[in-house]
Amino acid sequence: MGEVTAALKAVEDTPRDVPLRLLLSSMSLAKQLVTKLPTWEDHGWIGVQGSLLFRALVNQLRQRCAPTTLGMVSCAKEYEVRNSAIDLAKERYLSQRSVSVSPKIDRSFDLSGAKLATLTQAIAYKGILSKRGTVDRPRTTGRVRATLERTSKPGDPAPPAQMLWKSLRNRDIHRRIVDFLWKGLHDAHKIGAFWVHIPGYEDRADCRRCGARESLAHIVTECHLPGQDLIWSMTGAMWKKKARAWSKPSLEDVLAVGLGRYPRPANTKPREDLARLWRIIVPEAAYLVWKLRCERVIEHADDPDWTHSTREITRRWYAAMNRRLQLDLIATRKSFGLLAKSELMVMATWTGTIGDEQGLMEYWTRLPRVLVGIDPGFCRTAIDPG
């Protein structure tokens, strides 16, 4: 978008009867204007990110009567011009003297609407949704804002909300857990305040063990009933085998897990293997806590005399982590073709967490699945050896 804005500013400031050459850092803008422009206009610019700027740039270019060329820098003089432009942009930005560019469109040089011959039902539906606009949901807005504030750190600003929503679709997160996280960001789980305004069911709004108002944060990170603390202690023991920094995740950390922003010491670079392991084990642990709560409250009617045993919780956590490991090992098979996961990526993710890893062959992803499993030593941190 920055390159499109700069090109639009250059075209607007140049007389239309004077030849113009735009020096580009890459040919992406030129390829988009040549190869994608016909499709974008046939679809009425529906679903095109930054369509307003692109549309204004195309509109201004069509009003020119002199030739306009786009190309990469190729000689010393052009490199000097490009570097001068970069220095000027930095100077203007630091001194807060940047100039805003307003896209202007002349209707005489604009193709409006979508072409019926190329319009599909999916594109038309997107166009209808874009015309309707988005519905303001205060609870969703507040939850997303709190989640983004939690992810921001000094020198590492929070990502845009669009990236947070897109991170929920990360392939490292199971689809059932994606639904759980999506409802969490919308604050749409039927718990806590949901029951306050329903006559006869007001008592369901509070946790019967803690007496506090039940919320997703309370269930996942605060409740004193068996399950929550035990699961996070085993997850922390597993994480500390790979990385030293560990702190019990908050609800915001769980909801933003798709971004892969795991806790790490200052002045250290992020590692993809640790980010991937974080995206796997943290949502699995949170979802297991949620399932245990639902079994206790719904299946057993919140019976005060019934609860999950420590052994059952430990075994279910161990089974959940082993299942994710086995899925990763199966996904490395060559029969999946281009969809197969890299053996090196899987090994980098799970190395340090495998049971009897020293006795396995170098490429243990090729062993029969029953021979490779999570180290059971993580479970001993929660069970009395006696």
pLDDT digits (tens, 9 = 90+) for 350-378: 999 998 888 888 888 888 777 788 988 88
CATH number of 2-130: 3.30.420.10
pLDDT at 386: 39
pLDDT at 155: 66
Report the b/e string of 330-365 with b at 16+ CB within 10 A. ebbeeeeeeeebebeebbbbbebbbeeeeeeeeebb
Spatial contact of 242 and 352, defined as CB atoms under 8 Å apart: yes
Give the separation between CA 28 and CA 1, rounded to whole angstroms. Answer: 11
State pLDDT tens for residues 61-99. Answer: 999 999 998 888 888 888 888 888 888 888 887 887 777
> Could you count the other beta carbons within 10 Å of the beta carbon of residue 380?
13
Spatial contact of 195 and 204, defined as CB atoms under 8 Å apart: yes
Give the separation between CA 224 and CA 168, rounded to whole angstroms. Answer: 28
pLDDT at 382: 54
Kindly tell me the sign of the dihedral angle through the C-alpha atoms of 85, 89, 95, 97. positive
pLDDT at 383: 52
End-to-end Cα separation, the chain, in angstroms: 63
- What separation in angstroms does the CA of 244 have from each of 133, 239, 307? 45, 8, 33
Give the separation between CA 340 and CA 233, rounded to whole angstroms. Answer: 33
Domain extents in the chain: 2-130, 140-381
Diameter over CA atoms, the chain = 89
Tokens of 183: 């409802």
pLDDT at 318: 95
pLDDT at 172: 93
Give the separation between CA 78 and CA 238, rounded to whole angstroms. Answer: 54
Q: Which residues of the chain have pLDDT under 50?
A: 384-386
Tokens 């807005």 belong to 141
Strand partners, 68: 20
